[in-house]
Structure 1
Amino acid sequence: MLEVAAAIIENEHGQILIARRKKGKAQEGMWEFPGGKIEAGETGEQCLIRELREEMSIDIEPYQFFAASEHVDGSLHILLKAYKAKYVGGTIVLSDHDSYQWVELEQLPEFSFSPADICFVQQLAEVHEFPVDRANIHRRKV
């Protein structure tokens, strides 16, 4: 099983950072909470600090485990661990993504999320009490 970490990053205005997978990448065109593979001997929080510096040139401060999700994609079995994090600084430079947006929590259901991230959008909707059309969340903006 491949362990991956995702960051639900909040800025000073309470907006959440989402990023769209660029063409040629697995799940191209889909939105996700940025993150990456957890390396041997690394915690989820350490992974996120490293990955966000490498892939987006930003600094974050993970502060709370949010949830975990298991996802099977063909022969690949993924355990995705999501953490809430604060944006600390840096100017976003994209490498694995072709677009990013800071969005209000209530806007999350408007985007086409990768299958592994959909459950986090649904859980955020439950916690923060905003509506989400569970049947169509994966068919939204690309």
Structure 2
Amino acid sequence: MIEVAAAIIENGEGQILIARRRAGKAQAGMWEFPGGKLEPGESPQACLQRELLEEMNLAIAPYAPFAVNAHDYGDTAIRLIAYRATLVAGELQLRDHDDYRWVAPSELSAFSFAPADKPFVALLMKGV
């Protein structure tokens, strides 16, 4: 099972950052909470800081565990570990995605999310 971290990044205006996976990637065209695979010995928080800087040019501060979801995609099983985070600095530049949005939790149902992210969407829409 691959360990992956996802960031629930808040912008201070009640909105959360979501990103669409670009063509050529697994789950292409689907929306997700940005993040990436943990390196050996790396914490989910350190992974998120590294991945968001690499993939989006954003500095974030993960501050609280949100939820964990295990999902089997058939050829790959992942354990997705989500953390709440705040945006610290950076001008967003897409390197691994083809679109992004800042959305209110109530708007999340309008987007087609990757299966592993869907339980997080449900929690956020309930106000968790």
TM-superposed CA distance for 1:12, in Å, is 2.0
Offset of residue 26 of structure 1:
0.7
- What corresponds to 1:78 in structure 2? 78
Which ranges in structure 1 are unaligned for 5 or more consecutive residues?
130-142
The amino acid across from 1:65 in the alignment is: P
Is 1:123 the counterpart of 2:128 in the alignment? no
- CA positional deviation for 1:5: 0.2
Give the distance between the partners of 1:77 and 1:97, measured in 2 at CA.
21
Structure 2: runs of 5 or more not aligned: none
Alpha-carbon RMSD: 1.0
Once the two structures are superposed, what CA deviation does each residue of 1:16-49 show, in whole Å capped at 9, x if it has no partner? Answer: 0000000111111000000000111110000000
The alpha-carbon deviation at position 76 of structure 1 amounts to 1.2
* Divergent runs of 4+, >6 A: none
Partner of 1:108: 108
Partner residue of 2:49?
49
Question: TM-score if structure 2 supplies the norm length?
Answer: 0.97
* Mapped partners of 1:28, 1:76: distance in 2: 15
Bigger Rg, structure 1 or 2: 1
- Normalising by structure 1, report the TM-score: 0.88
Which is bigger in relative contact order (C-alpha 8 A, separation at least 6)?
A: 2
